[in-house]
Structure 1
Amino acid sequence: MTGRADLTPPRRRVPRLEDITLADIPPEVGLFPLPGALLLPRGKLPLNVFEARYRALVDDALASSRLIGMVQPSREEDDSDGESPGLFAIGCLGRITSFTERADGTYALALTGIARFRILREDKLRCGYRVARIDSSSFIGDLMEPDVPSFDRARLLDALRGYFARRGLSARWSLIDDMDDMSLLTTLPMMSPFDVLEKQALLEAPTLDDRVRALHTMLDAPA
């Protein structure tokens, strides 16, 4: 006896975060351009998604690799005039690791940074959102367990406190003090109110040592 054919397409296997390799990174990814939003490998970025085109981006990502390309526009103008703003060449892939879909179709989600990428070229829009061919081969080290550099943690935290004080900002210092070194070097750049160019410089820093040096330059700058 012949059984009924199962026409349900097989579900795409989504690897665990710790198992992702370069082969799991698709050659094409949907982009979420957002000025001032810095995502670093192993960092966690909360997002509220309400525009129809970016809801479509989230829907498509959830149905496939769960990956979204976070990238900063290279200029701050919006694209309400029909012209998409230019983008920086380097962004960071974020994996959707939690999400809530609200009754109105908007999303609250969290992205975990996987690896940086370079935009090779943009393709045509898909459901209103931008799509690009990407290459992460230059950032394969982002997928490996990092070697945390030796740095003067007390000096870095003192510089951060001074930076916040000069700008009249507050922070939950007890939580920051309790972070391990790797979390500190990831979370501190993402949470600090640096400008677009400064955040891009932190993203593009070749090594963690370079990131520490860039942080000191930014934190020690006068208000």
Structure 2
Amino acid sequence: MATASPDRLPAQLPGRIPLFPLAGALLLPRAHLPLHIFEPRYLAMFEEALMTESRLIGMVQPLHAHDGARLHRIGCAGRIVGFGERPDGRLDVTLAGISRFRLLSEPLTATPWRQGEVGWDDFATDRNRAPETDPHLDRAALFALLARFSQARGQQHDWQSLRPLPDEALINMLSIVAPLSPADRQALLEAPDLSLRRETLCALLEFALQRPADGDPDDSEVMQ
């Protein structure tokens, strides 16, 4: 798989980016999201994005998982940092999260994929090179909650292998892999900072413990 540096971005982020609406997919700043692209219009979109300086794709969730007409206002832009073409023409792509954005409007375009006029000003800290820290993170309490969650679901996860990760990498990884609904993932995306994302994640896991195991969300729509 070819790779590219996530740091080679223009001095000013573009005001219009291609949009990839995908329910259940969570891309966060300084995190990575693997995707398998097979629909012709999105193959064309990614191929065109690869020829631009920024290589940006705007990941955004539909307001309703099974109706992609209306989109959430907050998404996250990712730079294509890994890509490989299969013999049948499909693409395996890795996005590196660069910054969240606010979707301002969707102009009419001649392309078969959607494009968005976006604003970046609300998320300036996303573009800091240094990862965030969470001064209030209680790792013992967090991993105890994860153990209770797995036990309640009759699942086995090697959560302890994640314990050495830095604060941001740990909380973002858990946000991405936890079996949560698209609405829950949107709440995690929109959390203003890392501490609030961790608080939101813990609250969602605690709430999930009150639901029957068969009430867990189906994340089959996420193409990873």
TM-score by length of 1: 0.85
Is the counterpart of residue 42 in structure 1 residue 27 in structure 2? no
Aligned residue for 2:145, secondary structure, equals helix
Aligned-residue RMSD, C-alpha: 1.8
Question: Which residue of 118, 124, 127 maps to 2:108?
Answer: 124
Letter in 1 for 2:58: G
Report the equivalent of 2:179.
193
Aligned in 2, Cα 1:125/1:167: closer, same or farther, shift over 3 Å? farther
Amino acid paired to 2:99: A
| C-alpha deviation, 1:53, in angstroms | 0.8
Does 2:28 align with 1:28? no
Q: The residue matched to 1:123 in structure 2 has which SS? A: coil
Structure-1 residue corresponding to 2:93: 109
Aligned amino acid, residue 30 of structure 1: P
| Greater C-alpha Rg | 1
Match of 2:215 in 1: none
Specify the alignment match of 2:133 in structure 1.
148
**TM-superposed deviation, 1:125:** 4.4
Partner residue in 2 for 1:63: 51
- 1:120-158 Cα shifts (integer Å, max 9, x gaps): 000224532110100111101001124402210111122
Aligned to 1:4: none
Query: What is the aligned-residue identity percentage?
Result: 39
Q: Secondary structure at the match of 2:65?
A: coil
Alignment match of 1:73 (pick from 62, 74, 80): 62
Secondary structure of residue in 2 paired with 1:210? helix
Show the 5 A alignment for 1:6-21.
Answer: 16-18=5-7, 20=9
Partner of 1:6: none
The number of equivalent residue pairs is 203
Q: Which residue of 2 aligns with 1:215?
A: 201
Q: What is the one-letter code of the residue matched to 1:148?
A: T
* 1:162 alignment partner, SS class: helix
Distance 1:126 1:42, change over 3 A: farther
TM-score normalised to structure 2 length = 0.84
Q: Per-residue deviation at 1:66?
A: 1.0
Task: Work out the CA distance in 2 between the residues paired with 1:216 and 1:202.
Answer: 11
Alignment gaps of 5+ in structure 1 = 1-14, 79-83
